[in-house]
């Protein structure tokens, strides 16, 4: 896994630098998303996995599908990946590019775990609190975990804020036993 990330990093950084320099961050996001969807398509995967297909055939097929949908630079990027035998790292390149873009825009992802469904207003209120606390824009996603009993647990990067009933009970148990 680390090897794939290591292989993808220089491509993602180069794309991000180019996109930032040319102020085309969102255009590249759209192009990369399209390219990833094509590369992950089941039919495309079975076609390029055929034993008799050559790199040139993969490149031509990919470019035929994408030529009218993405920029010329994105087509050149696909050529580069195919010729270097790195098409398999495309999803990781996209993931790292989006992470670089989000960091540049001051946006961080937050996973909000809740014991119950939250409405949009509640989610926004939690996002606003953490946005002020971290001085960054928050992109929230919500998961339901009934084991929390009540309250929420928020994960931002490697930090966790636990305001759940279960967390408080665990803290009380530790305090009482020590």
Record the pTM: 0.71
> How much is the average pLDDT of 92-104?
92
The Cα–Cα gap between 115 and 56 comes to 52
Domain range summary for the chain, segments of one domain joined by +: 2-103, 106-177
Q: Which one, of 24, 33, 21, lies nearest residue 98 by Cα? A: 33
Q: At residue 16, does pLDDT exceed 70?
A: yes
Yes or no: say if 168 and 137 are a contact pair by the CB < 8 Å rule.
no
Q: What's the maximum distance between 2 C-alpha atoms anywhere in the chain?
A: 68
User: What is the DSSP annotation of 33-90?
Assistant: HHHHHHHH-HHHHHHHTSTT--HHHHHHHHHHHHTTTS-HHHHHHHHHHHHTT-GGGH
Question: Which run of H or E residues covers position 107?
Answer: strand 107-114
pLDDT on residue 5: 84
Q: What is the CATH number of domain 2-103?
A: 1.10.520.20
2 falls in which pLDDT band (50, 70, 90)? low
């Amino acid at each position: 896994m680390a090897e794939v990330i290591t292989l993808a990093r220089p491509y993602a950084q180069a794309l991000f630098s180019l996109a930032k320099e040319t102020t085309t961050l969102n255009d590249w996001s759209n192009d990369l998303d399209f390219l990833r969807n094509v590369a992950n398509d089941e039919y495309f995967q079975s076609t390029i996995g055929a034993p008799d297909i050559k790199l040139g055939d993969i490149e031509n097929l990919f470019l035929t599908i994408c030529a009218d949908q993405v920029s010329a630079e994105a087509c050149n990027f696909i050529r580069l990946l195919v010729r270097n035998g790195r098409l398999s790292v495309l999803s990781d390149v996209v993931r790292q590019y989006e992470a670089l873009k989000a960091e540049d825009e001051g946006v961080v992802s937050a996973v909000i775990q809740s014991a119950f469904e939250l409405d949009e207003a509640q989610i926004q209120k939690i996002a606003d609190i953490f946005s002020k606390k971290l001085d960054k824009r928050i992109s929230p996603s919500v998961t339901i975990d009934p084991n929390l009993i009540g309250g929420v647990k928020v994960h931002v990067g490697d930090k966790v804020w636990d305001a759940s009933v279960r967390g408080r009970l665990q803290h009380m148990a530790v305090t009482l036993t020590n």
